[in-house]
């Protein structure tokens, strides 16, 4: 029957209709007429071409797990808000999708089932099967809440043709901030001779990664105080801000606002772009030039990148937690993830290091970079009020990157705001 409900609008209409009745009654069936446990997975908004890659995965799960009644609910629109409504009505799905920055808030809501015990009892999977940093990324307060579906971190995508055209050597494995800046200067050009720059060397990676690469922190160990006014953090942010206001190797705010940084790279107007691995599926379709991926440069304290990725989690409201965990385990295993090697870097070590991924057809050629990034990836900022913290800091830092105020002035205004946010709840790193 699920095959008849695959259109992106029919699936929500059919399944949400059932859940609507459950919402008002406060009940949802836990098993079907054959006594099989029902497992409902809420899939996030997804374009049709990517959904086509998922259908064979779910078909294979159903084929190999006939004892489980698997149902997929494709959520369109605002995923987290709709899931929260389901939680409020006590009809939450058994399995949800999440990014790491959302994890602490879900835990604070009491929405997620810790998976440590399930992992230990499984007999089919262990911690060693996944990249350690990805398990740490989806852990909070010492407990594991999600099995990572992909091992993504911020890496560099670069325009190979542009590098060759302007005589810039490709990034070396040991390249540094200053090497990156030198390359960016050579790639920043007024290509049409009108006196204005229309090609930039780079989009900078996240400011917090600069902080880590200089040996600084965003929050202290207790998670109760913002540490960006400390010397190492401040120095890193000065370097980051100067890329735009002083060196002018990054897009102007107007250009970035008009098209967006990713689109500027796709149009061949930026030489170096920094984003997580799944962007490759978009670049393959839109870039009319040769491109590849490379490691981030190393800062004074070494090479660091930010772990991103995604995970599947079992909800506290699941009626069939063991069956739900089996779906999560299988989806994140080589058997499940082998269907997605063309668009995602697997979190299961065996598959990520296999020819199936590393030699998968299509750009980028250097797929090993995505795997290697796991060796120096850093767990992202973890706090239930992550969005508030980033908003408070980004407003002033954006002004500093435009040269309107100094980094010190931005931080002196923003850090006390962040400290007030931190005092309202539990902290992180």
Q: Does 22 share its domain with 9?
A: yes
Instruction: Look at residue 346 and tell me whether its pLDDT is greater than 80.
Output: yes
pLDDT, tens only, 229-246 = 999 999 999 999 999 999
pLDDT, tens only, 194-227 = 999 999 999 989 999 999 999 999 999 988 999 9
What is the average per-residue pLDDT within 56-80?
A: 97
Report pLDDT for 114.
98
Choose the final residue of a domain: 360, 378, 396: 378
Residues 6+ apart with CB under 8 A from 367: 293, 345, 357, 358, 359, 360
Q: Does 225 share its domain with 253?
A: yes
Report pLDDT for 427.
43
Residue 428 lies in a domain: no
Q: Does 112 share its domain with 125?
A: yes
Instruction: Look at residue 411 and tell me whether its pLDDT is greater than 80.
Output: yes
Q: How far apart are CA 381 and CA 360, in angstroms?
A: 32
Report pLDDT for 204.
87
Instruction: Look at residue 4 and tell me whether its pLDDT is greater than 60.
Output: no
Range in 27-36, 52-61, 308-317, 362-371 the model is least confident about: 27-36
pLDDT, tens only, 112-131 = 999 999 999 999 999 999 99
Residue 397 lies in a domain: yes
* Confidence label for 45 from pLDDT (cuts 50, 70 and 90): very high
3-state secondary structure 30-43: CECCCCCEEEEEEE
CATH number, domain with residue 323: 3.40.190.10
Report pLDDT for 252.
86
Residue 67 lies in a domain: yes
Report pLDDT for 25.
46
Cβ contact 32:2 at 8 Å:
no
Instruction: Look at residue 429 and tell me whether its pLDDT is greater than 80.
Output: no
Q: Does 252 share its domain with 183?
A: yes
Half-sphere exposure of residue 182, counting CA atoms within 13 Å on the CB side? 11
Instruction: Look at residue 426 and tell me whether its pLDDT is greater than 80.
Output: no
Q: How many residues does the chain have?
A: 429
Q: Does 81 share its domain with 176?
A: no
Residue 3: other Cβ atoms inside 10 A: 7
Residue 427 lies in a domain: no
Cβ contact 135:352 at 8 Å:
no
Q: Does 131 share its domain with 100?
A: yes
Instruction: Look at residue 79 and tell me whether its pLDDT is greater than 90.
Output: yes
Report pLDDT for 12.
44
What is the average per-residue pLDDT within 83-104?
A: 96
Residue 129 lies in a domain: yes
Residue 96 lies in a domain: yes
Q: Which residue range is the domain that position 251 belongs to?
A: 154-307+382-422
* Confidence label for 380 from pLDDT (cuts 50, 70 and 90): very high
Report pLDDT for 27.
65
Q: Does 313 share its domain with 214?
A: no
Nearest to 70 by CA among 84, 58, 88: 58
Q: Does 324 share its domain with 279?
A: no
pLDDT, tens only, 131-145 = 999 999 999 999 999
What is the average per-residue pLDDT within 394-399?
A: 94
**Torsion on CA atoms 263, 267, 271, 275, rounded to nearest 10:** 30
Q: Does 394 share its domain with 272?
A: yes
Question: For the residues of 335-361, what is the DSSP string, one character each?
Answer: HHHGGGTTT--BSBHHHHTSHHHHT-S
Cβ contact 427:223 at 8 Å:
yes
**Torsion on CA atoms 365, 369, 370, 372, rounded to nearest 10:** 150
Q: Does 211 share its domain with 318?
A: no
- Cα 310 from chain centroid (whole Å): 6
Phi-psi region of 310 (alpha: psi -120 to 50; beta: other; left: phi over 0): beta
Q: Does 134 share its domain with 28?
A: yes
Residue 391 lies in a domain: yes
Total domains in the chain come to 2
Q: Does 302 share its domain with 160?
A: yes
Report pLDDT for 345.
97
Residue 282 lies in a domain: yes
Whole-number average pLDDT of the chain: 92
């Amino acid at each position: 029957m699920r095959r008849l409900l695959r259109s992106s609008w029919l699936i929500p209409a059919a399944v949400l209709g059932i859940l609507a009745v459950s919402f008002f009654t406060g009940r949802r069936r836990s098993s079907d007429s054959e006594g099989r446990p029902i497992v409902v997975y809420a899939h996030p908004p997804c374009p049709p071409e990517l959904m086509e890659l998922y259908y064979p995965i779910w078909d294979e799960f159903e084929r190999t797990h006939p004892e489980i009644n698997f149902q997929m609910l494709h959520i369109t629109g605002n995923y987290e808000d709709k899931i929260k409504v389901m939680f409020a009505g006590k009809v939450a799905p058994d399995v949800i999708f999440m990014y790491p920055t959302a994890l602490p808030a879900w835990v604070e809501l009491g929405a997620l089932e810790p998976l440590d015990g399930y992992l230990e009892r499984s007999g089919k999977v262990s911690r060693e099967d996944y990249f350690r940093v990805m398990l740490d990324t989806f852990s909070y307060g010492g407990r594991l809440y999600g099995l990572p579906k992909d091992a993504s971190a911020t890496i560099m995508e670069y325009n190979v043709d542009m590098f060759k055209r302007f005589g810039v050597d490709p990034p070396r494995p040991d390249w540094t901030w200053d090497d990156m800046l030198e390359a960016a200067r050579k790639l920043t050009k007024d290509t049409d001779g009108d006196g204005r720059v229309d090609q930039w060397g780079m989009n900078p990676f996240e400011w917090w990664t600069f902080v880590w690469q200089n040996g600084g922190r965003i929050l202290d160990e207790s998670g109760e105080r913002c540490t960006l006014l400390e010397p190492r953090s401040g120095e890193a942010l000065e370097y980051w801000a100067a890329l735009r206001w002083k060196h002018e190797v990054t897009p102007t705010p107007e250009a970035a606002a008009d098209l967006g940084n990713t689109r500027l790279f796709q149009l061949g107007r930026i030489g170096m772009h920094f984003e997580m691995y799944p962007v490759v599926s978009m670049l393959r379709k839109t870039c009319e030039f040769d491109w590849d991926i490379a490691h981030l440069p190393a800062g004074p304290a070494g090479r660091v990148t930010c772990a991103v990725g995604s995970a599947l989690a079992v909800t506290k409201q699941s009626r069939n937690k063991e069956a739900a965990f089996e779906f999560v385990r299988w989806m994140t295993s080589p058997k499940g993830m082998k269907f997605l090697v063309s668009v995602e870097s697997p979190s299961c070590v065996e598959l990520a290091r296999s020819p199936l991924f590393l030699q998968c057809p299509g750009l980028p050629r250097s797929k090993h970079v995505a795997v290697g990034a796991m060796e120096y990836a850093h767990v992202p900022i973890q706090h239930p009020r992550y969005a508030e913290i980033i908003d408070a800091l980004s407003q002033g830092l954006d002004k500093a990157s435009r040269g309107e105020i100094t980094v010190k002035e931005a931080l002196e205004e923003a850090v006390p705001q962040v400290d007030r946010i931190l005092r309202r709840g539990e902290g992180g790193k």
